[in-house]
Amino acid sequence: MGTFTGTRATSAAQAGTLYETTKMWIRMGGRAIDAAQNYLNEQEIGDAIADCIDEGIVTREELFVSSKLNNPYHREEHVRPALEKTLLDLRLDYVDMYLMHWPTAFVHVPFDGTKRGFPESYEPDCCTGVTGVNWDPEEFEKDWPPPHLDMGVTIHQTWNAMEQCADAGLARNIGVCNTKVTLLHELAKGGGRTPSVVQVECHPYNQQIGLLKYCRMNKIAFQPYSPLGYGAFKGDDEVTVLQNPVLGEIAKQHDKSTAQVVLRWHIQRGVNTCPFSLHENELRQNLSVGDWELSEEDMATIATIDKQFHYLRPDSWYGLPLWS
């Protein structure tokens, strides 16, 4: 289960939403939870996990909990404190997977590592206390580098600190998000640990064929996020994946929802996903896509609708055309 509900400025979720949703997910049999410090809701998730364990619904060992290193903590001296803050909020001794959320270092944003949760004034994407504003992509080109980017740290330095966290038992596995083949190859062949997983936007409109092939060749797990397409960032004139008529026709033929068809497509490609929903019926559907199959013809048809299209366009967030 994914756990992104939007930033504080855009989220429609009320306080306590992720607490209730996480408990519902675990009670219905869900065992994998994909969290991130950047989502500012790990405290709720941690309370839900702790309550489910206390109630005997699940054991810690049965859960697979992931979290992610936030951009302002890429310097080597900041990586472990950021993970320790995540563990405090999640009420865990370790995470099963720790991911570098973006290959983009921000200037440091201090936080109180002794308290659970973050104050309302904490906004890591806007670099609280540094600029405090949303980014204007046009200004990047006029005055480079933008003030929020930390130009003094490399991805290898960050990765080395993550390796140390794994060596210390704070993370069972480490990986990366939002990387292309070239950057992933740089890490995989850098002499240290090969990333256990790469998590990227992937759905029928963005099938990531080359990256998936590279991961298979190098025994790196490939995990799509936004596996159903990303409605929250869809432009007004853009069609969502779940509105695609080709997928709709395949769903009709199998008497399934379009979402179930897309999730089944991911599974038959040999990858695992982390779809998110706040609705019980949709969460249950997400757990019920393993008892039927798409035909080879269905898979071939879905392959034809790839647009190499990203709903997430981070140029205006980070000042870098990461997908170019």
Summarised one tens digit per residue, pLDDT across range 87-116 is 999 999 999 999 999 999 999 999 999 999
Asked if the structure places residue 143 within a domain, the reply is yes
Would you place residue 43 in the very low, low, confident or very high pLDDT band (cuts 50, 70, 90)?
A: very high
Q: Which of 166-180, 207-221, 272-286, 287-301 has the lowest mean pLDDT?
A: 272-286
Q: For position 220, what pLDDT does the model report? A: 96
> Does pLDDT of 3 surpass 70?
yes
CATH of the domain at 48: 3.20.20.100
Gap between the Cα atoms of 46 and 87, Å rounded: 9
Looking at the chain, the whole-number percentage of residues with pLDDT higher than 90 is 70
Would you place residue 8 in the very low, low, confident or very high pLDDT band (cuts 50, 70, 90)?
A: low
Asked if the structure places residue 258 within a domain, the reply is no
Asked if the structure places residue 39 within a domain, the reply is yes
Asked if the structure places residue 85 within a domain, the reply is yes
Would you place residue 288 in the very low, low, confident or very high pLDDT band (cuts 50, 70, 90)?
A: confident
Q: What domain range is 45 assigned to? A: 17-237+305-318
How high is the mean pLDDT of the chain? 91
Summarised one tens digit per residue, pLDDT across range 13-27 is 677 889 999 999 999
Q: For position 17, what pLDDT does the model report? A: 87
Gap between the Cα atoms of 87 and 107, Å rounded: 22
Q: Does the annotation count 98 as an active-site position? A: no
Q: For position 129, what pLDDT does the model report? A: 82
Q: CB–CB of 305/52 below 8 Å?
A: no
> Does pLDDT of 271 surpass 90?
yes
> Does pLDDT of 231 surpass 70?
no
* Domain count of the fold of the chain: 1
Would you place residue 6 in the very low, low, confident or very high pLDDT band (cuts 50, 70, 90)?
A: low
Asked if the structure places residue 43 within a domain, the reply is yes
State pTM to two decimals: 0.94
Asked if the structure places residue 96 within a domain, the reply is yes
> Does pLDDT of 7 surpass 80?
no
Asked if the structure places residue 247 within a domain, the reply is no
| Cβ partners under 8 Å of residue 322, min gap 6 | 102, 103, 104, 178, 180, 314, 315
Summarised one tens digit per residue, pLDDT across range 176-195 is 999 999 999 999 887 789 99
Q: List, in sequence order, every residue forming a beta bridge with 99; answer none if it has no partner.
A: 68, 175
Would you place residue 12 in the very low, low, confident or very high pLDDT band (cuts 50, 70, 90)?
A: low
Asked if the structure places residue 137 within a domain, the reply is yes
Gap between the Cα atoms of 247 and 267, Å rounded: 16
C-alpha distances (whole Å) from 317 to each of 44, 140, 142, 202, 208 are 26, 11, 16, 20, 22
The one catalytic residue in 19, 39, 214, 230 is 39
